């Protein structure tokens, strides 16, 4: 028996035969041509053919995995319209006199390298996207057939990595689990695995080889462990663990449609955090009451230039309509710190976590801010949208935000464009400054949502991304619970509601404490909705326990 460990993407136990998807990327040789005009036409024809292929693929994928998960195909179509990408290919053909295949290959590699060297993990994962579309164009130029992986029977899919178009075409009924050498938690393989509730382990590196093809394996998605050719004892243990997990899953799914209410009658809203409109399927599948945090920055992170008002509006409208009246809280642009976007041309900072980020960018680049607000207000006419502003530290900021929002509403009204007049405006409590003046802030906004990740970082002065400080990073720090109690009291004194959208919201050991101090809403990853509902329904919440604050 061979045992290797990687990164867990989604929990669960899978037992079955491995099907290793072998892929070889052919090297495109540099070939000189004489007729550059003809070669430019060849590239353009191949590009248009690729767009048509992706349109057909989108329809197929939407039928298989739902429109939300199929949206990655639309993103690939947009990449084939990217002016920087197209200009790079055309310039190589014109200036170097090379074939369209070579120009496309080199451009794809160049853009992929640029993405993979970015600090933001989500942007690094876009390297796979640009390689995928480049490979598609090259195959069309070579008149090669596009083939999709088609495993025979339910198998554990293993690969060095899976291209986005390959992942989305897989028949989910034939996939027991995903295993990859590379990839990240933001890869499309990972996203699809979470959406489909399929056990998955990534980052297995050189421990995963093509020799595994056809062999029996056990995948423990909870621990990120893979057992190749498991011995009898391990197999029995894993089968028992799988049986227990399936029983637990059945119990959880029996909670669908049930109320989030404790034994002694305390109710709470359970919403989902998502980072992309492609996660909507998971929100609905896990019966979330709404979306408590929609991270709008993905619209900016995946583009090479500022998204237009129309591009943003179409996404916000799609999300609002997909939730069919359930609340959708969209956080405005939260760029900066660990989320860097090249075209924003942000200055290099020694301490970016305390620097030019989030609302500070929006209030100093107001046309950028107003573009997003116009898209959001327009989309509010199609669903139950609320807007949330990040990184607030002062009352002055909130008042300035409301002035900009009033300007946007006046412009829309003048243009005769419909929007929701009484749209909720809320703020994130992520800094000690905001919590300490939450009595004043509550008079100006409709709700609070506590970002416990940053609040813990700023309160305890511990960089949460520095692995050397892991032993000092304490999300259960007494100061955090005291701040949550203060913020909840101030919200309720002013007739406003308060939620938590940080990682702490999913900590089941604190659920009763949150309910006791008056937290009205918890927003977590979609997969945590049902376990959290079970915890709520099993709890009896009395008065506040003073020991929590000592």
pLDDT tens for residues 113-139? 887 776 655 666 677 788 888 989 999
pLDDT band at 420 (very low <50, low <70, confident <90, very high): very high
Residue 87: partners with Cβ closer than 8 Å, 6 or more residues away: none
In-domain check, residue 239 = no
- Predicted pLDDT of residue 225: 94
Q: How far apart are CA 72 and CA 189, in angstroms?
A: 12
In-domain check, residue 28 = no
Look at residues 94, 115, 141 and tell me which one is the last residue of a structural domain: 141
Same domain, 361 and 225: no
The answer on pLDDT for 393 being more than 60 is yes
In-domain check, residue 157 = yes
Same domain, 128 and 162: no
In-domain check, residue 406 = yes
Same domain, 468 and 544: yes
User: Mind telling me the catalytic residues?
Assistant: 188, 501
The answer on pLDDT for 210 being more than 60 is yes
In-domain check, residue 264 = no
Residue 471 belongs to domain with CATH number: 3.20.20.60
Same domain, 343 and 211: no
Residue 197: partners with Cβ closer than 8 Å, 6 or more residues away: 10, 12, 285, 527
Same domain, 115 and 73: yes
The answer on pLDDT for 546 being more than 80 is no
Q: How far apart are CA 158 and CA 166, in angstroms?
A: 12
Q: Residue 180: which of 192, 196, 195 has the closest Cα?
A: 192
The answer on pLDDT for 108 being more than 60 is yes
Is 17 annotated among the ligand-binding residues? Answer: no
Same domain, 177 and 99: no
The answer on pLDDT for 465 being more than 70 is no
Is 229 annotated among the ligand-binding residues? Answer: no
In-domain check, residue 172 = yes
Same domain, 317 and 400: yes
- Predicted pLDDT of residue 250: 79
Greater confidence, 197 or 91?
91
Greater confidence, 379 or 26?
379
pLDDT band at 255 (very low <50, low <70, confident <90, very high): confident
- Angle at 335 (CA atoms; ends 332, 338), nearest 5 degrees: 135
Greater confidence, 66 or 395?
395
Greater confidence, 114 or 35?
35
- Predicted pLDDT of residue 403: 97
Q: How far apart are CA 547 and CA 538, in angstroms?
A: 21
Instruction: State whether residue 426 is helix, strand or coil.
Output: strand
- Predicted pLDDT of residue 30: 92
Is 331 annotated among the ligand-binding residues? Answer: yes
- Predicted pLDDT of residue 419: 95
- Predicted pLDDT of residue 445: 98
Look at residues 141, 167, 193 and tell me which one is the last residue of a structural domain: 141
> Where are the extended beta strands (E) located within 138-204?
155-159, 175-180, 200-202
- Predicted pLDDT of residue 87: 93
- Predicted pLDDT of residue 370: 96
Is 365 annotated among the ligand-binding residues? Answer: no
In-domain check, residue 262 = no
Same domain, 193 and 316: no
Mean pLDDT score, 455-460: 91
Mean pLDDT score, 248-277: 87
Greater confidence, 150 or 10?
10
How does the average pLDDT of the chain come out, rounded?
87
The reported pTM is: 0.62
Residue 113 belongs to domain with CATH number: 1.10.274.10
Q: Among 256-270, 286-300, 315-329, 349-363, name the one with the lowest average pLDDT.
A: 349-363
Mean pLDDT score, 187-203: 75
Q: How far apart are CA 40 and CA 97, in angstroms?
A: 10
pLDDT band at 349 (very low <50, low <70, confident <90, very high): confident
Q: How far apart are CA 80 and CA 312, in angstroms?
A: 19
The answer on pLDDT for 222 being more than 60 is yes
* Domains: count for the chain: 3
Q: What percent of the chain has pLDDT over 70?
A: 90
- Predicted pLDDT of residue 25: 67
In-domain check, residue 485 = yes
Same domain, 462 and 502: yes
Look at residues 207, 233, 259 and tell me which one is the last residue of a structural domain: 233
Residue 489: partners with Cβ closer than 8 Å, 6 or more residues away: 518
Q: How far apart are CA 42 and CA 86, in angstroms?
A: 13
pLDDT band at 189 (very low <50, low <70, confident <90, very high): low
- Predicted pLDDT of residue 540: 87
Residue 15 belongs to domain with CATH number: 3.50.30.10
- Predicted pLDDT of residue 346: 76
pLDDT band at 156 (very low <50, low <70, confident <90, very high): very high
- Predicted pLDDT of residue 244: 87
Is 37 annotated among the ligand-binding residues? Answer: no
Q: What is the residue range of 319's domain? A: 269-549
Same domain, 445 and 529: yes
Is 237 annotated among the ligand-binding residues? Answer: no
- With b for 16 or more beta-carbon neighbours within 10 A and e for fewer, the 456-490 pattern comes to bbbbbebebeeeeeeeebebebeebbbbbbbbbbb
- Predicted pLDDT of residue 269: 96
Same domain, 45 and 122: yes
Same domain, 367 and 467: yes
């Amino acid at each position: 028996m061979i045992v290797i460990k990687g990164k867990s993407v989604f929990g669960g136990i899978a037992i079955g035969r491995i099907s290793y998807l072998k892929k070889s990327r052919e090297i495109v040789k540099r070939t000189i041509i004489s007729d550059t005009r003809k070669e430019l036409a060849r590239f353009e024809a191949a590009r248009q053919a690729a767009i048509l292929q992706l349109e057909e693929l989108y329809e197929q994928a939407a039928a298989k995995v739902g429109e939300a998960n199929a949206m990655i195909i639309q993103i690939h179509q947009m990449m084939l319209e990217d002016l920087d990408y197209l200009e790079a290919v055309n310039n190589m053909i014109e200036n170097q006199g090379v074939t369209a295949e070579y120009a496309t290959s080199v451009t794809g590699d160049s853009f992929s390298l640029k993405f993979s060297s970015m600090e933001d993990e989500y942007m690094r994962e876009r390297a796979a996207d640009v390689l995928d579309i480049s490979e598609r164009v090259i195959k069309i130029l070579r008149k090669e057939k596009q083939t999709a992986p088609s495993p025979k029977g339910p198998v554990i899919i293993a690969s060095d990595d899976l291209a986005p178009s390959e992942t989305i075409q897989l028949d989910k009924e034939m996939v027991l689990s995903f295993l990859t050498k590379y990839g990240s938690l933001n890869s499309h393989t990972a996203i699809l695995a979470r959406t489909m509730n399929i056990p998955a382990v990534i980052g297995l590196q050189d421990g995963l080889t093509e020799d595994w093809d056809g062999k029996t394996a056990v995948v423990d998605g909870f621990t990120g462990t893979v057992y190749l050719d498991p011995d009898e004892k391990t197999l029995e243990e894993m089968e028992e663990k799988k049986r227990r997990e399936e029983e637990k899953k059945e119990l959880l799914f029996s909670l669908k449609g049930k109320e989030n209410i404790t034994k002694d009658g305390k109710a709470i809203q359970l919403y989902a955090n998502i980072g992309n409109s492609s996660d909507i399927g998971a929100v609905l599948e896990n019966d979330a009451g709404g979306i408590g945090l929609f991270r709008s920055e993905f619209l900016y992170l995946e583009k090479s230039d500022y998204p237009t008002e129309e591009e943003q509006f179409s996404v916000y409208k799609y999300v609002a309509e997909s939730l069919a009246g359930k609340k959708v809280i969209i956080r405005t642009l939260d760029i900066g710190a660990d989320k860097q976007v090249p075209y924003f041309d942000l200055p290099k900072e020694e301490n970016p976590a305390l620097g030019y980020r989030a609302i500070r960018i929006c209030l100093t680049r107001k046309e950028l801010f107003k573009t997003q607000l116009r898209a959001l207000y327009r989309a509010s006419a199609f669903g139950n949208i609320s807007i949330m502003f990040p990184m607030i530290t002062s009352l002055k900021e909130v008042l300035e935000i409301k002035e900009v929002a009033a300007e946007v509403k006046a412009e829309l009204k003048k243009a005769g464009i419909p929007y929701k007049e009484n749209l909720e405006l809320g703020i994130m409590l992520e800094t000690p400054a905001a919590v300490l003046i939450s009595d004043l802030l509550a008079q100006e906004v409709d709700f609070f949502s506590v970002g416990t990740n940053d609040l813990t970082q700023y309160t305890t002065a511990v960089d949460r991304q520095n692995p050397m400080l892991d032993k000092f990073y304490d999300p259960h720090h007494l100061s955090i619970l005291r701040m949550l109690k203060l913020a909840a009291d101030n919200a309720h004194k002013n007739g406003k509601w308060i939620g938590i959208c940080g990682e702490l919201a999913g900590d089941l050991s604190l659920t009763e404490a949150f309910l006791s101090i008056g937290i009205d809403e918890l927003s977590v990853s979609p997969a945590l909705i049902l376990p959290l509902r079970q915890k709520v329904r099993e709890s009896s919440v009395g008065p506040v326990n003073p020991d929590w604050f000592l």
